[in-house]
Structure 1
Amino acid sequence: MSSGGERSAVPDVLAPAMLGPVRLRNRVIKAATYEGRSRDGLVTDELIEFHRAPAAGGVGMTTVAFCAVSAEGRTDRHQLYWRREALPGLRRLTDAVHAEGAAVSAQLGHAGPVANPGGTGVRALAPGRFPHPMTMRLTRAATAEDLRRVVRAHAEAAVMAAESGFDAVEIHCGHNYLVSSFLSPRLNRRDDRYGGSLAGRARLLREVANAVRDAVGDRIAILLKLNMDDGVRGGFWLDEAIPVARWLEQDGSVDAIELTEGSSLLNPMYLFRGPAPIDEFAGAMSGAVRWGVRLFGRYLLRSYPYEDAYLLADARQVRQQVDLPLVLLGGVTGKPVMDLAMREGFAFVAAARALLREPDLVNTIAEGGRETSLCIHCNKCMPTIYSATRCVLATPPAGYSSDTEQSPRLV
């Protein structure tokens, strides 16, 4: 075990670093944020530009989100999912990012109970049957064969990612997407080998991570996004996240863990912190859903106080128990927070909203300019996932259309 106090030299966040087999030009990662720029499950020029911009702006790596491992695992019908037809567009995307000197990662996952049955045409897969809080449609309890199929799909997706030029993949095991929902004692009431004890509830996560490692070896880096706290009563929490992180370290299945919190299913604002933009969410909807959000949105979209590095207190406890490289997410707004993360023993930092506001923030910092993002954490970027994800305070990007039809969930 290690702790921040035992670590020697504090790395420079803007200096090159190794992530598994991949050399990044610095330790700043553009975190996965749903882009709202794919159509019919394929890459668009607008999606390529979305990732080219922070690459040109200096990040070490940008993360494409959310790339479903199967059609049923999507959160909306236009979302990228892994199949041969998608590979030429993905290759164009990775080439564009590499041309700017950055690496690029693909976030792999299955949305599980967060999936949108209206877009996929099938009932959402989950540990058991329960109604989705927004659609009130019942989920379908995953069978053992379903889970074997999901594990294979992750491995096959990782191989396609490597073939498409991705430098890394990030396995999505957070926010009560499928693997995360199996970790949750609140959502997973199974009495088979995938339920019960923590070892049973973590079985799917370990099978997925091991399958991905077996499929790609050291050809590309493997990250895993892990919840520390679902943000709901009876959910997965830090006392179980720490042993899961230890198991991943023992398995040797991943090169780094990105620590996160919250539930896209039950408490989405717990990850983002700050005000909940209920009016803006309602404005992005239509018909009865719009009125439902206005009347009841405050019960699902709760507000939490924002502060820089707001996940640090929890992430520090994981850091003290594992030696595996960790990525600090949450309130990474500029150089002071990045330097704090390095002093605390984190190997990388991941930023989302700050880079939506200023894709060139890393270059601004490196060139001796302003050290803190202009992002004011208003969260009004969040409802833009239903059209094209963007900072509403910045100039609309090329290719933005306010009537793009989308219905994704928060990543």
Structure 2
Amino acid sequence: MTPTVRRSLFEPARLGPLTLRNRFLKAATFEGMTKGAVAGDDLIAFHRRHAAGGVAMTTVAYCAVAPEGRTERHQIWMRPEAVAGLRRLTAAVHDEGAAASAQLGHAGPVANGTSNGLPALAPSPMVSAQALARVRAASRQDIARIATAHGEAALLAVESGFDAVEIHLGHNYFASSFLSPRLNKRKDEYGGCLANRAKVARAAARAVRDAVGDRVAILAKLNMDDGVPGGLWLDESLKVARWLEADGSVDALELTAGSSLLNPMYLFRGDAPLQEFAAAMRNPLVRLGVRMVGKRFIRSYPYQEAYLLDSARQFRSALRLPLVLLGGIAQRETAEAAMAEGFEFVAMARALLREPDLINRMRREPGTRSLCVHCNKCMPTIFSGTHCVLAEATDV
């Protein structure tokens, strides 16, 4: 049993080389505000709101390390042309007293090759239902290039003024798809046993550490399980976490779950907004498919506070590495309970979309209750600018 740890939610806390003003992180949620694949005024205002609202650090999602690694063509990819806008963003966040983190990764089979005009990549050949196109198997050259690109992207993040980077190793994006026995059918040194399947994730983290050293904090977002039959499960994920800890390549792990490719609602829980998702699809064939068979893909799971906690406890008891708990953290007492169980930070997303100032209000008024009802209607808004539709309705 993990011993009780006395930590205050609202006192400064260390994360690698950083000192953060409290233990609340704004989790990465793709903002849908990056037309032209750069940071503009809308994205800057979005993160400034969360910084002003009291979080210790806000995470920009998502900064692809290569152009084919985007989920759609307007997503940021890390290149010199993106630096100026990102510098404006980090300066705005710093002006509000918070830190900024860049989520770095490659979408792999989750990438929309049709939108990007570039082939999506996976461990093994497959068909993308979203892009209605084939996804080709990554070559050894692709794997090496993408690992190197993680380090180069991290250097650009430092140049852009970020205080931290978060390496995306979850949700069946590129590194996560290699970890998945269901998606990785390779017969070479990147397939088969877990040690082989983990090479891509470990190489990405090592490339980032070698590139930036201790200049910024390095987190990794790691799936505890994929939420699909035959996918990565807790026992193997825990081994990967131990390897990352032993490698010394990351300062903390943010524990997540689910597959953007095969079972996205496993991460989010709560209502499944099928009609809203269908309406948001630009491709009429995809829109029709969501309406006809969407229930098989966009499933509904009961919501409860801290719904990933039971799984995360197994990681907490086995690791010394700082851990970030996410998944259904909307109330102050939930965050306090996480601190008591030894988690160093908590990450929030939907509750902060509903109320960007929630952390400041929790600090001033301990009895504050989140207004988020976990309807998940914010999720389809990623295609038009991520926001809480209930907050929008209230403001009208």
- Taking structure 1 as the reference length, what is the TM-score of the superposition? 0.94
Matched, 1:144 2:140: yes
The equivalent of 1:409 in structure 2 is none
Distance in 1 (CA, whole Å) between partners of 2:286 and 2:217 is 41
Matched, 1:360 2:357: yes
The equivalent of 1:109 in structure 2 is 105
Q: 1:397: Cα distance to partner?
A: 12
User: Aligned to 1:63, what secondary structure does the other structure show?
Assistant: strand
Q: 1:131: Cα distance to partner?
A: 1.2
Q: Quick one: which amino acid aligns to residue 118 of structure 2?
A: V
Matched, 1:81 2:53: no
- Size of the aligned set, in residue pairs, is 394
Matched, 1:322 2:319: yes
The equivalent of 2:198 in structure 1 is 202
Q: 323, 346, 349: which is aligned to 1:349?
A: 346
Q: 168, 173, 180: which is aligned to 2:176?
A: 180
Q: Is the 8 A contact 2:112 2:130 kept in 1?
A: no
Q: 1:369: Cα distance to partner?
A: 5.3
The equivalent of 1:331 in structure 2 is 328
Distance in 2 (CA, whole Å) between partners of 1:180 and 1:396 is 37
Alpha-carbon spacing, 1:42–1:191, altered in 2? closer, same or farther (3 Å):
same
Q: Can you list the C-alpha shifts for 1:8-36, whole angstroms capped at 9, x where unaligned? A: x4100111101000010001000000000
Matched, 1:256 2:252: yes
Q: Quick one: which amino acid aligns to residue 333 of structure 2?
A: P
Distance in 2 (CA, whole Å) between partners of 1:270 and 1:245 is 20
Q: 1, 4, 13: which is aligned to 2:2?
A: 4
Distance in 2 (CA, whole Å) between partners of 1:365 and 1:329 is 17
Distance in 2 (CA, whole Å) between partners of 1:372 and 1:183 is 38
Matched, 1:309 2:306: yes
The equivalent of 2:165 in structure 1 is 169
Q: 1:74: Cα distance to partner?
A: 0.5
Identity %: 62
Q: Is the 8 A contact 2:115 2:131 kept in 1?
A: no
Q: Can you list the C-alpha shifts for 1:90-148, whole angstroms capped at 9, x where unaligned? A: 00000000000000000000000000011211221010101123334221111111111
User: Aligned to 1:320, what secondary structure does the other structure show?
Assistant: helix
Alpha-carbon spacing, 1:205–1:397, altered in 2? closer, same or farther (3 Å):
farther
Q: Quick one: which amino acid aligns to residue 341 of structure 2?
A: E
User: Aligned to 1:191, what secondary structure does the other structure show?
Assistant: coil
User: Aligned to 1:319, what secondary structure does the other structure show?
Assistant: helix
Q: Is the 8 A contact 2:263 2:299 kept in 1?
A: yes
Q: 1:285: Cα distance to partner?
A: 2.3
Distance in 2 (CA, whole Å) between partners of 1:372 and 1:240 is 37
Q: Any residues of structure 2 matched to 1:2-401 within 5 Å, and which?
A: 4-5=2-3, 9-286=5-282, 287-368=284-365, 370-395=367-392
Distance in 2 (CA, whole Å) between partners of 1:288 and 1:140 is 22
User: Aligned to 2:45, what secondary structure does the other structure show?
Assistant: helix
Distance in 2 (CA, whole Å) between partners of 1:369 and 1:46 is 31
- Root-mean-square deviation (CA), in Å? 1.3
- Taking structure 2 as the reference length, what is the TM-score of the superposition? 0.97
Distance in 1 (CA, whole Å) between partners of 2:143 and 2:195 is 16
Q: Quick one: which amino acid aligns to residue 285 of structure 1?
A: M
Q: Is the 8 A contact 1:260 1:311 kept in 2?
A: yes
Unaligned runs of 5+ in 2: none
The equivalent of 1:406 in structure 2 is none
Distance in 2 (CA, whole Å) between partners of 1:263 and 1:133 is 14
Q: 1:371: Cα distance to partner?
A: 2.8
The equivalent of 1:403 in structure 2 is none
Q: Is the 8 A contact 1:16 1:25 kept in 2?
A: yes
Unaligned runs of 5+ in 1: 399-411
Q: 1:275: Cα distance to partner?
A: 1.2
Distance in 1 (CA, whole Å) between partners of 2:270 and 2:373 is 10
Q: Is the 8 A contact 1:334 1:373 kept in 2?
A: yes
Q: Is the 8 A contact 1:357 1:391 kept in 2?
A: yes
Q: Quick one: which amino acid aligns to residue 310 of structure 1?
A: Y
Q: Is the 8 A contact 2:154 2:165 kept in 1?
A: yes
Distance in 1 (CA, whole Å) between partners of 2:128 and 2:159 is 36
Question: Deviating runs (4+, > 4 A) in structure 1?
Answer: none
